[in-house]
Amino acid sequence: LMHVRRSKKYRREDQRMTLNQLVIIVLSNLVFCSAFAPIVQQPRISKQLFAQSFDLKYNDMSSDEEQKPQLATLRIHGPDSQGIVAAFSQLLYGHGCGIFDSEQSTDRSASLFFQRIHFDYSMMHTDRVSLEKGVTEVCDRFKMTSQLNWGDTKKKVCIMVSKYDHCLWELLLRHRAGELDCDIALVLSNHPDLKPVADAFNVPFEVFKITKDTKALQENAEIELMQTKYNIDLVILARYMQIVSDNFCNTFPHKGINI
């Protein structure tokens, strides 16, 4: 095309290719491509090259899977003092663990410190027993309490609702999309209105009608059901329009979320 455009024989207003010129360009391209014909005529080589490249990509993918992090969660709380964050950071580093993320807060009125550490133990060069013992020693030094979850099993969750459905829909849809790493084992309500929502997601739905006279009795039945049949680890109050008792809170200490 550049040759045709630069040719003095053609003016700007008449730069159209003739059929003959198009044929010449096509033929020249065919001659140029024919130089690579020996490579195309060797299918065995091309298959070998393809197989080698595929194996290389497969090995790269497998190596990525081998380096997949193993995440655990350490929760601590207790009297606020200096050096808590550094002590637990050094402890995890000493066992070969890497901190994935960490969040901490302080209740200044009560002088209490709270921290949640999400760490990767895939490269840990000790064992779980040693790390748990180290966590206990640091907690004893600072008079803290701790909870270590290795992330081996998903938490079993119970969602408690009444008649408002938007929170229930949100949780069930996000769980189906894989955004919530848990097992929603039960939906519990004091009204039967939201049973079709739970049925749409194949989640068991139980109703405990509560009145002023039957509140304590029904709440004890709810606790027994969650503990004996479903082994619930976490309770989510998703627009549950009842005030839970002290007995309920003591049964699930630090295991309830109100949204």
The confidence score (pLDDT) of residue 68 equals 80
- The rounded distance, in Å, linking the Cα atoms of 61 and 52 is 14
- The rounded distance, in Å, linking the Cα atoms of 173 and 158 is 15
Under 8 Å between Cβ of 240 and 171: no
The confidence score (pLDDT) of residue 21 equals 62
Q: Give the phi and the psi of residue 74 in degrees, each rounded to 5.
A: -115, 125
In eight-state DSSP terms, residue 28 is H
DSSP string for residues in 117-170: EEEE-TT-SS-HHHHHHHHHHHHHHHT-EEEEE-SSSPEEEEEEE-S--HHHHH
The confidence score (pLDDT) of residue 88 equals 96
* Number of C-beta neighbours around residue 122 at 10 A: 13
Under 8 Å between Cβ of 186 and 158: yes
- The rounded distance, in Å, linking the Cα atoms of 215 and 236 is 19
pTM over 0.75: no
Closest residue by Cα to residue 74 from 53, 98, 52, 56:
98
Cα angle vertex 56, ends 50, 60, to 5°? Answer: 145
- The rounded distance, in Å, linking the Cα atoms of 89 and 12 is 75
* Number of C-beta neighbours around residue 160 at 10 A: 25
* Residue pLDDT tens, the chain, 259 long: 444 444 444 454 455 555 556 556 655 665 555 555 554 444 444 444 444 444 444 455 544 555 688 999 999 999 999 999 999 999 999 999 999 999 999 999 999 999 999 999 999 999 999 999 999 999 999 999 999 999 888 899 999 999 999 999 999 999 999 999 899 999 999 999 999 999 999 999 999 999 989 999 999 999 999 999 999 999 999 999 999 999 999 999 989 999 9
Cα separation values, 226 from 34, 106, 191, 231, 250, Å: 75, 32, 17, 6, 14
